[in-house]
Structure 1
């Protein structure tokens, strides 16, 4: 729809942040964090096809986030309604108690939402994206719209950095490392390579070996960027030196992505959904990068 800038628009912190490719690392970090909630990870393990089709699930999740950020108002509400309908029909069993629970339980939706937006924001800023404290709080506040799309009452969702810190402190006693958590973390760290990658690599004169090691390095950085209390739950170290090393790695990865992407034609490096949003903004006489 011409002139429809969706939920956010060019002046939003959301558009500023989500143009950064380093958010892919933030998305991976959020999955490790989400897996520490026993019910959240059980819900995924019992209802998701991520083991059989991990890259397909990643593509669908990325498409959802991209639509919420860059889509028209109609596109956003249609995809959100579809996901809500899907969740409303699903249940899972708590492996600790045997209790069956709905996937659209507010506590689960809130945990997934906060872990995701905090991971996007924290990863980007630690990788070198400059945001003021007001912009950081502004991003959390803007993302209340995304939380509401999932059926949450915005009044129950943290809307500032301080509120997110308080929320994590409140949630920590409810988190634990379960069998599903461990299996999910292992899967995220060493996922299977799609079958067609082998033939593509041969055509490009590449080897899958370096690709696997490169991904392992990215996964290790995502784990190192978790909050110290989350790293300790996974059996890692909560030392400040780990945070500093992770920051350097994330900054290096951001620079590498920028360098590589600068050599790729714009039509291939800018997602079609974002390109369409920029075109609508331009048609409305608004300059957006």
Structure 2
């Protein structure tokens, strides 16, 4: 009998795996705030948001759309490679059928998401070095491929990501469609019994997501934001409050990607942002790699001394 035929197959780590920045970052609850920020930012591209308005019923099925997006991100972050590839194939098929597979628009959506995830994570106190931030952007050339983009034409580090936003800035505007998205995010339709929760919880989340946008976005929307240091302080406080909810309780929410990944790969693969601080000394080189992010700090992960 062939020994290789009877040997157990190694568990599939997926497209990123436990050693990636993505693995440690995407399990943090602050990613929900980052996701709302991404929606605000994406709405500022008139052609991109027009495609959403024409082809989507997000106003009637807003929560379903948000959960489907979260499911996609969870699948490509923590699912098996086969599951991630299948999810990407479904997205590409939908884009083709709806005629929204223009690479220029897909690139805008991708960059707005990655910038939002990275910006909010760092400002919330997660200790990403500059080298780790670059690695995160590079990792997500994989997610760019899944939605139909050419990875070689997608930003590979934070400098390239910043350059992309400088180049695209003249195309951005807060037109009628963006105003609809803004109004929706501030007051999403919900059942009457949940109206108090919207006033107390969602309004705070949406306002914080808006406040973390870059200054040019505030100018386009025509609503000022508090000073950056005030926003960062509120973001850190909110993020740490969310992190105080036991992770295993948070991760039980459907569809349970992280718990499934830990069951597949073992408890040592549990994602935790503080692991990034430990990895920096091992994985990063000198110079820029050793610099801490200046985008926010948290007593939970502050470097001692």
TM over 0.5: yes
CA, structure 1 residues 255+246, in 2 after alignment: closer, same or farther (shift >3 Å)? Answer: same
In structure 2, the residue matched to 1:226 is: 213
In 2: Cα distance, 1:167 partner to 1:82 partner: 27
Aligned residues between the structures: 263
Give the counterpart of 1:81 among 69, 86, 89: 89
1:276 aligned onto 2:253? no
Choose which of 55, 61, 73 in structure 2 pairs with 1:53: 61
My pick for the range that moved more, 270-279 or 246-255, is 270-279
Residues 68-147 of structure 1 correspond to what in structure 2 (within 5 A)?
A: 68-90=76-98, 102-147=99-144
Q: Distance in 1 between matches of 2:79 and 2:270?
A: 15
Query: Does the 8 Å CA contact 2:138/2:156 hold for their aligned counterparts?
Result: yes
Q: Is the 8 A contact 1:8 1:142 kept in 2?
A: yes
Q: Name the SS for the 1:15 alignment partner.
A: helix
2:125 counterpart SS class? coil
| 1:1-289 matched pairs, under 5 angstroms | 3-90=11-98, 102-194=99-191, 198=193, 208-237=195-224, 242-259=227-244, 261-262=245-246, 265=249, 268=252, 272-282=256-266, 287-289=269-271
Stretches of structure 2 that go unaligned for 5 or more consecutive residues are 1-8, 272-305
Do 2:75 and 2:83's aligned partners in 1 also have CA atoms closer than 8 Å?
Answer: yes
Q: Do the aligned partners of residues 20 and 55 (structure 1) sit closer, same or farther apart at CA in structure 2, a change above 3 Å counting?
A: same
| C-alpha spacing 1:60/1:269, structure 2 compared with 1 (3 Å) | closer
Q: How far, CA to CA, are the matches of 1:162 and 1:89 in structure 2?
A: 34
Query: What are the superposed Cα offsets for residues 155-208 of structure 1, whole Å, 9 maximum, x if unpaired?
Result: 11111111111110100001111110111111011101146xx2xx6xxxxxx4
Residue 216 of structure 1 deviates from its aligned partner by 0.9
CA contact (8 A) 1:23 1:120 kept: yes
Taking the aligned partners of 2:249 and 2:152, their CA distance within structure 1 comes to: 43
User: SS in structure 2 opposite 1:249?
Assistant: helix
Query: Does the 8 Å CA contact 1:281/1:288 hold for their aligned counterparts?
Result: no
For structure 1, list consecutive stretches of 5 or more residues without a partner in the other structure: 91-101, 202-207
Q: Distance in 2 between matches of 1:25 and 1:211?
A: 15
Report if aligned partners of 2:28, 2:243 keep a CA contact under 8 Å in 1: no
After superposition, give the CA deviation of every residue in 1:224-256 in whole Å (9 maximum; x if it has no partner).
100111111111337xx5221211111111111
